[in-house]
Amino acid sequence: MTYDHILIRYGELGLKGKNQKQFLKTLVNNIRRQVEREIGDRPEVVREQGRLSIPLNGRNPADFYPALDRVFGISTYSPVMSTDLDPATIEAAVLAELGQLPATDQTFRVTVRRANKRFPIRSMDFQLQVAEKILAHFPQLSPNLTDYDLEVSIDIRFEQAHIFFERRPGLGGLPLGTGGRAQLLLSGGIDSPVAGWLMMRRGVVVEGIHFHSYPYTSKQAEEKVLHLAEKMAAYSGHFDVHLVPFTPIQEAIGANCHSNLRITLMRRIMLRIAEELADLRHAKALVTGDNIGQVASQTIESLYAINEVTTMPVFRPLLTYDKLDTVKIAKAIDTYDISVLPYEDCCTVFVPKEPKTKPKRRECHREEARIEGLDDLMQVAIQNTETVRCFANGSQAARRSKLMDLLKEKDEQDG
């Protein structure tokens, strides 16, 4: 028996009420684009009641799995074979498929759902009937309704019966592009890529902002961040990273401010710059990988002092995560091995010996006032920010230029 389509379930989207149509439209477009990036062809995606399907047209369903595994908004999906509504035909299809499985001892259950109530056999009765046929032909299989190795699922529709044997897990969440746009402070460590990915899972289009301190940090540290962006681009098609030259500001902090407030002051200034970049990119929020108590700048007191400088929402999806949970996600999305490469970022290079864990806002104001021309230094950093568009295939240098030049070019094209 040949699988003829892939059935896609979208879970949470079913709760969206009047907005469901737009969410589904975005999900369909994302599936088409992701499959096209993976296999070269844009597939047909058919909307059915409560689900989507992709006709296979003779292709192996496994060809589609890598693409579907990277689409946010998919709850589960299954390769499906279709038959007519004759009970004998359905049973024959089930037996034929089971005959292709290894002849090992396994437990199984049969699940029948009847959307078509005109089907002549009740769901429970047909489950028993199919199970009896399976036991007669495959004595190595034994029924178990709760602890089973294999589930035989039969979905009785109005024109056909659909048969499938597995439910492959999707990423869940919401379709990318339904949750607005945000800027991620991408440091190069373990946490920030995971924080960005979690926001993407809620439908938010994310771009990266990386503050670099060349020559105190190496070009390898910058390339590390761009490689992380490539991994994230696997879920979105591309991922833009804005590279902000931060060295003059850090030198000014080091020359004029008390060392134990150095990290807090850097984070405050980073947020101020990030907010301006977010405005330029029409983003409405910032994202960080902060986790309460993990380092000195991530105590509640520090976050309170740092947050003061922006009125833009700052999302911290990892705030309550255990580090082991964050590492688990980092490994799952393939960013962990890159994040642990031993290239220092700007914060680790300039970290003081005894950073203050409970900074006061008035202390921050006093120290920042000692930096002559801070606003001008920030504007120079913004003017010299470079933007790199990264792709999952590694072509990260496809588009690299000053952010302000890109915005000017876009305005000319739009105008």
pLDDT band at 48 (very low <50, low <70, confident <90, very high): confident
The pLDDT of residue 1 is above 90: no
Work out the percent of the chain whose per-residue pLDDT is above 70.
92
Residues 292-302: what's their mean pLDDT?
A: 81
- Residues making up the chain, counted from first to last: 415
Q: For residue range 183-210, list pLDDT tens digits in order.
A: 999 998 999 999 999 999 999 999 999 9
Instruction: Give residue 2's pLDDT.
Output: 81
Q: Which pTM does this prediction carry?
A: 0.91
Instruction: Give residue 412's pLDDT.
Output: 63
Averaged pLDDT score across all residues of the chain: 91
Q: For residue range 205-264, list pLDDT tens digits in order.
A: 999 999 998 887 788 888 999 999 999 999 999 999 999 999 999 999 989 998 889 999
Give the whole-angstrom CA distance, residue 29 versus residue 16.
18
Q: For residue range 361-385, list pLDDT tens digits in order.
A: 999 999 999 999 999 999 999 999 9
Q: Are 335 and 231 in contact (CB under 8 A)?
A: yes
Residues 329-342: what's their mean pLDDT?
A: 95
Cα-Cα-Cα-Cα torsion 272, 277, 280, 286, nearest 10 degrees, comes to -80
Residues 379-397: what's their mean pLDDT?
A: 85
Residues 313-337: what's their mean pLDDT?
A: 96
Specify the higher pLDDT residue, 395 or 333: 333
Residues 80-104: what's their mean pLDDT?
A: 93
**Range with lowest mean pLDDT among 97-101, 127-131, 167-171, 228-232:** 97-101
- Strands 285-287 and 181-185, how do they pair? parallel
The pLDDT of residue 156 is above 80: yes
Residues 282-306: what's their mean pLDDT?
A: 89
In angstroms, what CA-CA distances link 250 with 213, 219, 290? 8, 18, 20
Q: Which residue stretches of 281-392 are H helix? A: 300-307, 323-332, 336-339, 346-349, 361-369, 374-383
CA atoms within 13 A on the CB side of 195: 28
pLDDT band at 25 (very low <50, low <70, confident <90, very high): very high
Give the whole-angstrom CA distance, residue 292 versus residue 322.
10
Sign (positive or negative) of CA dihedral 188, 191, 197, 202: negative
pLDDT band at 178 (very low <50, low <70, confident <90, very high): very high
358-385 burial, b if ≥16 CB within 10 A, otherwise e?
ebebebbeebbeebeebeebbeebbeeb
Phi, psi of 14 (to 5 degrees): -65, -10
The pLDDT of residue 349 is above 60: no
Of the chain, the end-to-end C-alpha distance in Å amounts to: 57
Binding residues for ATP, by number, are 185-186, 210-211, 267, 289, 298
Binding residues, by number, are 185-186, 210-211, 267, 289, 298
Give the whole-angstrom CA distance, residue 250 versus residue 262.
8
Residues 309-331: what's their mean pLDDT?
A: 96
Residues β-bridged to residue 390: 239
pLDDT band at 332 (very low <50, low <70, confident <90, very high): very high
Give the whole-angstrom CA distance, residue 137 versus residue 131.
10
pLDDT band at 395 (very low <50, low <70, confident <90, very high): low
For 76, the token pair is 């589960």
Give the whole-angstrom CA distance, residue 146 versus residue 297.
48
**Range with lowest mean pLDDT among 44-48, 81-85, 164-168, 389-393:** 389-393
Give the whole-angstrom CA distance, residue 394 versus residue 233.
10
